[in-house]
Structures are given as structure tokens and as C-alpha cells.
Structure 1
Amino acid sequence: MPTALITGATGITGRATVQQLLKSDQWTKIITLSRSQKSSHDDPKIQHATIDLQGDTKDMVSHLKEVGEVDYVFFCAYLADPDEGKALEINGTMLKNFIGALRDLGYLKHLKRFILVNGLKQYGVHLGVPKMPMVETDTWLEGNPWPPNFYYEQQRILSAAAAADANLWTWAVTYPQDVIGVAQANFMNLATALGLYASVYSSVSEDHELAFPGCKENYMAFNNWTSAKLHAEFVEWAALEPKAGNQTFNVVNGDTESWQNLWPRLAERYGAKVPKNMFPKEGKYKDFESSHVDMPTPPPLWYHAEKIGLDPEEIKNDHSWLHQQIDIAKWAERPEVVKKWEELRDKFGLDQKTWDNATWVFISFLLGRNYSCVTSMSKARGMGWKGYQDTWTAFDETLTELEEQGILPKASELRK
């Protein structure tokens, strides 16, 4: 029976991975690693160790020596930095030193597979409209004019490490998109910010409406999302499936969704309604500040333009942009909004950090971009993966879990 080691065990993907492995009888021991807090799971299978992944190899060795050999590693940790160059240095060094510590301890001799979690920055979705659907064989965006990408650096480090050990162990990399899940004592995620906005906006609105803060183009666009629970099922599959060795995989729910379908359901969940004219040219939202940002780099589609029969120059000059008819970060600072949050906080006994750490900038990007983001799951399907998750169900279940944990106000009791 195999043993597993999970880094970032209290984050969104790490926490879900721990839960998934605990559900299976085949795992003998699950070692959870995190920087500060212990995993909340109380199970005899779990052994927890505190480790600073920004430490050097020697420091990591001191923390990992009591852990012992493992069969599978699930590397779910990363550190964000607005400077892409620094993000590459931080996350590349973090992974390199961690693998170095496993090698120094002799643990790699026992390892079977190393799973690395990356994301859709792989395709440059943060830079503008991508070529769609995105597939794992798409060329990496490197060199001028593209900024550094730590996913590429990490994948090079991982494959080189396996090669250095004569490929005695294998690896797999996942690319989830806009993960829907819960992180332990971490309020910085998509679902939390979305739930806060829906709770407060619908409560402040005299007509109990829930306006979409982003742009019409985004509202009508098509996208994929990834349930953290489904991703956890996938990484377990990718660890144990022989054909998945030394492969990269897109991991999304399996449906293609749009806010035009999801938003009315979100409004209904919060006892609100969708405005009759969601995107007025002027008038309805004139009291709110809007925002508009043109993305400075050519969109990733530009790189692929010639291959797919488009004019590269035309694509290069057709910049993508982010637009919010209601700037959600500035909305969150409005006196009436803060007052309503404080009322809900006190009513439901919520943690002020929920509001203070809400990722308004991240959700503004997800709701404001003027393009679709659709990926292909054909590669994994072709290898036998059959997992599927309805995206609205994932949102609804995650919001419910956040409510039960006392992170979000209970939607069913907002008007009571």
C-alpha cells in the first residue's frame, strides 16, 4: 500500500487532495506539509510536518528527515508575487531545493511519481485572449515579448531531476483553471470573494438585485472551471495510472459554462434577482466607479496567428482588456458596503479577515476580461479519465461549505 506526501496541504488543491486520499483505503500513510498551520484532518493515517519551502536544501532536510520515504509526492504549494521574474525565482528555487532535499535524504530512490500542480498561466491566459481550445501540446510562450513564467521553470526542474535519476521515478503536471474550493484558514480564493460580493450587494440593494460587476463580453464568454475535489480525484488517478507518467494534463470539470447561465442561479441562491438591463450604456450604475485596463502585451493568440490562418499584425494590435462596470475593489470600500459587511459579520459571527483578505483584484480579472478561456480534456480522456463535475454544483457546494465553516454569511438567512 502506497504512502503520499502533500505540500501546501492547507491550500485549496492541497486540502482537497488530503481529503481525497483519506477516502481511499489503499493509502497507508499521508504526510502533510505546510509552512505554519497543521492540517485540520484528524486521522491516524496523517503525519504532519511544518516546513518553510523558501528555506535552503539543508533546512528542508532537517524537517524532512523524520518523515521517511514516500511513494508519491503531490506538490500543491506555490507563492504568488506580482513581479513575474521574482515569482519564477521563488517558485523555481522552492521546487529545486525541495527535490534536492529528497535526494540528499535518499528518498528519491523509493519514489514512484511526483505530481506538480500548475495552472492555466501555462497558456498565457493572464496576458490576453489565448488560442482555443488550449491543448497540452501548445508551444510555450517564452522570450520577447512574453514575461517570465514560473510554470515553465518548474516543469524543466522536475523533468531534469527525473532524468538525473535515470528516470527511476516519473512525474505528471496538472493545469487546473480557476479552482473552486475551500482553503483552511485562507480566505484568498475565488469562491470566498464571490460569496462576499453576492451577500453584501444583494443585501444593500433596495430591489434585492445582484448586478454583474464585470463586462458584457465576459458575461457572454465561455469558460471552464475546476472543482478542487475533482482535481484531487484527478491527481490520485494521475499518480497511479501507468500511462500518465511524464505527462502534462489540463484538468477542468468537463462542462463549458458561461456567466450568462451561472449568474442568474447565483442571484437566486442569494434571494436576489438579475437586473432587467444588466449592462446599461449609462444611468443604472452611474453612482459606482468603473474601471478599464488595456493589457500591454500582445495576446497569446498572436503567437499562433500565422499557423491558424490569421494576420499576426492585426492580432498583435488588437489588445485584450479588462473592464468592470462596477470596480469591485472600490465598491468594497464604499461606506454603505462596509457597514453592511460589518452587520453581516456580527450577525453570523464571521472573521474580519474574510473581508480584509478578499481577493477583489483576482475576481475583478475573472469577471472583467473580454475573452473566453476554453481548454481541451481530450488527452486525459484518451488515457481513460472519466471524471466530471457540474460547475454550478461545484460553486453551490463550495459556498455552502464556506458558510458552514463560518467564513461566509448563510445565504438562506440573509433576510431573516
Structure 2
Amino acid sequence: MPAAIVTGATGITGSAIVRHLIKDPSYTKIYSLSRSNAGLDHPKVQHVHLDLQGNSDHMAKDLAGVSAEHIFFCAYLPNDDPGETDRINAAMLSSFLSALTKMGEDKHIKRFVLTCGFKQYGVHLGRVKQPSLESDPLLLDSAGGVSWPPIFYYTQQQILAKAAKAGNWEWVCTLPEDVLGFAKGNFMNEATAIGLYCVVCKASPGSELPFPGNKDNYLTFNTWTSANLHAQFCLWAAKAAGAGNEIFNVTNGDSESFQNLWPKLAERFGCKIPDQMFSNSGFKDYESSTIQLKNTQHPLILHAKNMGLAKDPIATDAPTLRLQIDPEKWAKRSDVNEIWARLRKQYGLDQMAWEKATWDFLTFVLGRDWNCIGSMSKARKLGWTGYADTWDELVDTFERLEEAGILPPLQQLKHDY
């Protein structure tokens, strides 16, 4: 029976993979690798302290006795500089693979599953072709006549493919989008910021829930990825015939929009939808923002000529975020922090959740005006049938955040305000 290694095992995607490996009777041993947090406590799980920023010799010593047929690499370190992000994350993967080779453990690998994401298509840079396909061209160097910032996924995929060829094993790369899930102590989660925004709005005078972004964003369509569904996909991809040496979109399988989700959020948290969601006069007391991204054109420019849009503003205009309420600015307001402080004291909430919440990511997600839909056809054709309802997964994440003391207990919140 195979053993498995999970790096980044205490993050949202990594911990979900560990949970599903525990449930899978075909795995008898799971090595959970992280710098400090031991993660899940289970007889099948052995925690190994590993600093992926260390050199390969040190890693080889820390990994002594660790051997597995399937490896799930979920580790990631962010940096504000795309070049540094590329360097750091490429070095982590390269050193880890080198350590396995020095140990001779690369000979036992059957498949290595690398978690990446929709930055593969440049969704963080602007409008992209829809739906996004795994065969879409990469934003390398001056593709389409534009100088693009480094995307570290590309470097990691090159490193992985080269190592796999040399070691005679296979790799898989997954591309999830806006992952929904929970991991203790990890606040890099869109649902955490949205939940905090909703509970503060609920406790504010009038309990209105204005949509922070723009009208175009409100009406666009997007895909999300459940951490649980992604974990199930990773286990499937580790063994599925024909999945080796391939890149796959991994989304829930439905298409959602804030025009549908926002009223549901208001109902769940006991808030009111404003009569005029996008009336400037309605939110004059909030800080709005218009943020121009550093790149000068949308990634759609790579396809514009074939689509007959070579000179159309939809491809050539500078990508811009537009927000009627900037979450980063909102989270710093004195009145907002007073309400949060009252909620924190009243329900014994985790202050770190507020301080570590990814307000900047929420600013981006709600400020863009482009769709983010990825086709699941490639995986479906190989037999993948997984599906998750995005709203159900969002609610499940909120419930886990409530259990962890990050959000107030819902029924009590609705009763008190």
C-alpha cells in the first residue's frame, strides 16, 4: 500500500489533502511536512519538521527514513515582488527534489502532484480569455508584445518536469481558483475576509451589506475551488490513468456570481441589501478606490488578433480595479475597528484573524471587472466526476470559522444585533 508526503501540510490545501489521505484506506502512512505546526493528530500521520528554505543537505537529514510513492506539494511563500516570489518558491521546490535525490528516495516516486493556481492564466494581471484552458499560451517574457512579470508556477513546472524525466516518474499540476476552506491559524482565505466584513456590517447601524466592488464585478461569472474537492482531485490524479505529466484546472464545477451570492450572504448574516447597491450617494462615507495595475494590457491581448479584438479596449486598456468600498481602507477605519473590538470582546474572537485577514486580496477579487471561468473538460474526459456547490462550500467554511472563534456564532449574532 502506498505512502504519501504532503508539504505545506498545515495550510488550507495541504491540510485538506491530509484529511482525505487519512480517509483513504489505500494509504497506510502519511508524512506531514511543515516548519512547526504538527497538524492533524492521527495514527497514520507522522509529522516531520522541514524548512523548505533550507539547503538540500539539511533537508535530506530531516527527511531521513521518509519514503513515499505519492507526493503532494502545497507549500507556498508569498512576496510582494513577483521576481522574489519566483525565486523563493522555485528554490523551495528545487531543494526539496534535490534532497529526495540525495537520499535515493526519488526512485520510489510514482507521481508528484504540485498545487499551483489560476495565476497560470494571468487572472491577477487583468482580463483573460474565457473559459481558460490548460492549453492556453503562457505569459512568458514579451508574449504578445507585452513584458509580463514573472509567474512562479511556470518555473516550478519546468523544474518538476525536468526532475521527473531524470527520475523516471510522473508529475501532475493542479490549478485551483479562489480556494474555499479552513486551516487552524491560516487566514489566507477569501472566506475569512468576507465573513469578517459581513459580521461587522451586521453589527453596524442599519445592518446594511453594501457590495464593496463595482457593478461589472457584481455581474461577472467566476469559479471557486473547495479545498475538500481539490484534495479529492489530487488523490484521484495521483493514480488516474492518463493523468501523468499533465496540468489540470480544478474548480467546483459550477459557475457563480456575486449577483447570486451577495443576497445569500445578506440573508445568512441577517443583513439588508441596499436599495441602490451602486448609487454613489449611498456610500459617500466610505473610501472608494481606483487602482491601476502595473502591467499595461490585459492577458487577453495574446488572443486578441484571433478573436478580432486586436484594437478593442477590452484587450488593450490598462487593467484597473474599481471599488466603491476599498476593503483595505475599510478595515483600518476607526468606527469599523470599534465595532470589531466590541464583537471580539463580546464573543471572545481571535484578534489575529482581523490582523491577518487578506483584505488586499479581497480588494483585488472584488475590484476586478473580468470573469474567471476555467474549463473542466480536460479532467472530465479522463473520468473525473467530482463536483461541489460553491455556496454550500462557503457556508461550510463560515461554520468552521465560527467553531474556531474567528467569526461569532451565527444565531447569537443575529439575536444580539
Say whether 1:211 aligns with 2:213.
no
User: In structure 1, how many angstroms separate the alpha carbons of the residues matched to 2:314 and 2:252?
Assistant: 30
8 A contact 1:172–1:248 mirrored in 2: yes
What residue in structure 1 maps to residue 148 of structure 2?
146
What residue in structure 2 maps to residue 114 of structure 1?
112
What residue in structure 1 maps to residue 291 of structure 2?
293
What residue in structure 1 maps to residue 180 of structure 2?
180
User: In structure 1, how many angstroms separate the alpha carbons of the residues matched to 2:25 and 2:322?
Assistant: 48
Say whether 1:91 aligns with 2:89.
yes
Q: Which amino acid aligns with 2:139?
A: L
User: In structure 2, how many angstroms separate the alpha carbons of the residues matched to 1:243 and 1:395?
Assistant: 32
Shift of residue 331, structure 1, vs aligned partner? 1.1
How do 1:124-139 and structure 2 match up within 5 A? 124-139=122-137
Deviations 1:80-123 (A, max 9, x none): 11101111100001000000000100111111100000000000
Deviations 1:57-83 (A, max 9, x none): 1111111113x2111000000111110
What residue in structure 2 maps to residue 394 of structure 1?
393
Aligned residues: 410
Partner secondary structure for residue 373 of structure 1: coil
8 A contact 2:298–2:316 mirrored in 1: no
8 A contact 1:303–1:312 mirrored in 2: no
Partner secondary structure for residue 53 of structure 1: coil
Partner secondary structure for residue 289 of structure 1: coil
Which runs of 5 or more residues in structure 2 are unaligned?
A: none
8 A contact 2:4–2:29 mirrored in 1: yes
What residue in structure 1 maps to residue 230 of structure 2?
231
What residue in structure 2 maps to residue 277 of structure 1?
276
Say whether 1:6 aligns with 2:6.
yes
User: In structure 1, how many angstroms separate the alpha carbons of the residues matched to 2:42 and 2:292?
Assistant: 49
Deviations 1:116-156 (A, max 9, x none): 00000000000000011000000111112111110000000
Partner secondary structure for residue 263 of structure 1: helix
Shift of residue 330, structure 1, vs aligned partner? 1.3
Deviations 1:198-238 (A, max 9, x none): 0011211x222111111111100000000000000000000
What residue in structure 2 maps to residue 22 of structure 1?
22
Partner secondary structure for residue 81 of structure 1: coil
Deviations 1:337-385 (A, max 9, x none): 1111111111221121111111100011001101111110000000000
TM-score, length of structure 2 as denominator length? 0.96
What residue in structure 1 maps to residue 369 of structure 2?
370
User: In structure 1, how many angstroms separate the alpha carbons of the residues matched to 2:299 and 2:11?
Assistant: 29
Say whether 1:246 aligns with 2:253.
no
Shift of residue 316, structure 1, vs aligned partner? 5.0
Which runs of 5 or more residues in structure 1 are unaligned?
A: none
Q: Which amino acid aligns with 1:11?
A: G
Q: Which deviates more from structure 2 when the two are superposed, residues 263-272 or residues 308-317? A: 308-317
User: In structure 1, how many angstroms separate the alpha carbons of the residues matched to 2:315 and 2:194?
Assistant: 33
8 A contact 2:304–2:315 mirrored in 1: no
TM-score, length of structure 1 as denominator length? 0.97
User: In structure 2, how many angstroms separate the alpha carbons of the residues matched to 1:252 and 1:273?
Assistant: 30
Deviations 1:310-348 (A, max 9, x none): 225755532221111011111112222111111111122
Deviations 1:3-60 (A, max 9, x none): 0000000101001101111111111101001112111x22100000111101111111
Partner secondary structure for residue 73 of structure 1: strand
The percentage of counterpart residues that share the same residue type is: 51
Partner secondary structure for residue 48 of structure 1: strand
Shift of residue 296, structure 1, vs aligned partner? 3.3
Partner secondary structure for residue 321 of structure 2: strand
Partner secondary structure for residue 292 of structure 1: strand
Partner secondary structure for residue 242 of structure 2: helix
User: In structure 1, how many angstroms separate the alpha carbons of the residues matched to 2:208 and 2:319?
Assistant: 29
User: In structure 1, how many angstroms separate the alpha carbons of the residues matched to 2:59 and 2:370?
Assistant: 42
RMSD of the TM alignment (CA)?
Answer: 1.1
What residue in structure 2 maps to residue 356 of structure 1?
355
8 A contact 1:302–1:312 mirrored in 2: no
8 A contact 1:250–1:377 mirrored in 2: yes
User: In structure 2, how many angstroms separate the alpha carbons of the residues matched to 1:256 and 1:325?
Assistant: 24
Q: Which amino acid aligns with 2:129?
A: K
Q: Which amino acid aligns with 1:390?
A: D
Q: Which amino acid aligns with 1:296?
A: K
Runs of 4+ in 1 over 6 A off after TM superposition: none
User: In structure 2, how many angstroms separate the alpha carbons of the residues matched to 1:42 and 1:289?
Assistant: 45
8 A contact 2:82–2:150 mirrored in 1: yes
User: In structure 1, how many angstroms separate the alpha carbons of the residues matched to 2:59 and 2:312?
Assistant: 49
What residue in structure 2 maps to residue 321 of structure 1?
320
User: In structure 1, how many angstroms separate the alpha carbons of the residues matched to 2:349 and 2:187?
Assistant: 12
User: In structure 2, how many angstroms separate the alpha carbons of the residues matched to 1:183 and 1:139?
Assistant: 33
